[in-house]
Structure 1
């Protein structure tokens, strides 16, 4: 038996989803083109129907509760299922139609151009959306079901995501061509001690967001001398070129 649901139930779930992702009723309302009062009402209705508290409200801030986290997972799964149903029913005879959304960092976006062109020739009725993003944004886009899948480099597992390895890229130590560091052809841990490092800056303004500083370089016997942190790899290379320091990046 299929239980009867109110006609606004899915809209209430959408309001809850955007509020949970943004942490703000106001931001959720902007994304949904609704009034904040409407989103607040939707969340209250959900809490009444489910007899639970979805957000802790303190000092005008919303913090999702454990029950809210569980509902968020169910909400994402529900809308993924609905999207799959619509795609399946609207593609009779195996003809693919609809939209495929991809989140990808810049190197992978460039590499995927030929693949996308070949796919479009075979499936001309599929509209493809590609969003260029940083690695942490790609992971968040996939985990929140904002996109169908993502393409990026990873040094650790991503929660709530299924990873498939396409290939392995080597980490490289990048240094100015003319430098006085006296590095051997294959530097070891002792060679890195005392070098001025330029690291990748995470969204939360912490150097630990650097994928290599947070994993493989953490095991070094001495802490690295980080002289600059920046959240753009191209800028990191520019500072290396100017002789400010060295950086660790993969060969992508």
Structure 2
């Protein structure tokens, strides 16, 4: 039954029989047969079918929740048994919001030193993608905002508080000031992250409260692209202080704190809600609680 549930999970994610079969490494007829066998076993129809996949039935949505839990428990059991034999091994998969990518090494560095056989996979993701990756077992945990938008049923550990700075070239007129108000950015050529990023929604909210329209000259999902345009076009970007610090070294750039209001948001580790936690996740949560917040 576990194999059939895994195929059902793959279909619910891909929403296409062919792509789900490819993801599972089986033929489409094999996957279709497994779904029908699961329906027969449970006594309900799970999938709306026509000439193509048309979605899950209400019963299918309920089974999807159970399938995610059962799949997670099975993986957790296997990981716990492996950890008992070999210690923490394998790959820790983290989904991280772009503005926190510079801080992730502080967490993974100490964790890697404590567990030499462990490897890491870090990918950039929006908050929505991060939560979906955790739910779909594509990420073991994530790093993102804790206090701005609902997260659902997860476990969180605060890591640090995000505060914002305006990043510009040293020769910019606003660079003469040691501190800026959000309202001072009115009329400035801004480059910002895309609206699907929670950071952009936060910044747009603070700008709007100061009477400034968030109408950037360029939008991107890459902080590197933002900094490139600051350097080459003389525009201004707004980044968390920690994220900006990486780009200031050796560059003709300055970062000016933004106030009025003084905005701050909590960044932390986000992990799936499950008891008991796997040995890997338990160790990661413990390491997160030792994170240097300064």
Question: TM-score, normalised on structure 2?
Answer: 0.67
Q: Is the 8 A contact 2:94 2:143 kept in 1?
A: yes
1:133-144 paired onto structure 2 within 5 Å: 133-136=124-127, 137-144=129-136
Point out the more displaced range, 210-219 or 78-87: 210-219
Matched, 1:212 2:199: yes
Q: CA RMSD, aligned part only?
A: 2.9
The 3 A distance-change label for structure 1 pair 46 and 241 is same
Deviation at 1:158, TM superposition (A): 2.5
User: Where does structure 1 lack aligned partners over 5 or more consecutive residues?
Assistant: 1-8, 202-207
Deviation at 1:141, TM superposition (A): 2.1
Which secondary structure does the structure 2 equivalent of 1:209 belong to? Answer: coil
Q: Is the 8 A contact 1:12 1:43 kept in 2?
A: yes
Paired residue for 2:114, among 115, 119, 122?
119
- 1:4-58 Cα shifts (integer Å, max 9, x gaps): xxxxx22211111111122222221121111122222222333343344434457
User: Where does structure 2 lack aligned partners over 5 or more consecutive residues?
Assistant: 244-294
Paired residue for 1:164, among 157, 165, 174?
157
Bigger strand share: 2
Higher relative contact order (CA 8 A, sep 6+): 2
Q: Is the 8 A contact 1:240 1:247 kept in 2?
A: yes
Q: Is the 8 A contact 1:176 1:243 kept in 2?
A: no
Question: TM-score, normalised on structure 1?
Answer: 0.77
1:41-120 paired onto structure 2 within 5 Å: 41-57=33-49, 60-92=52-84, 96-105=87-96, 106-120=101-115
Paired residue for 1:236, among 223, 226, 233?
226
The 3 A distance-change label for structure 1 pair 227 and 54 is farther
Instruction: Specify the alignment match of 2:264 in structure 1.
Output: none
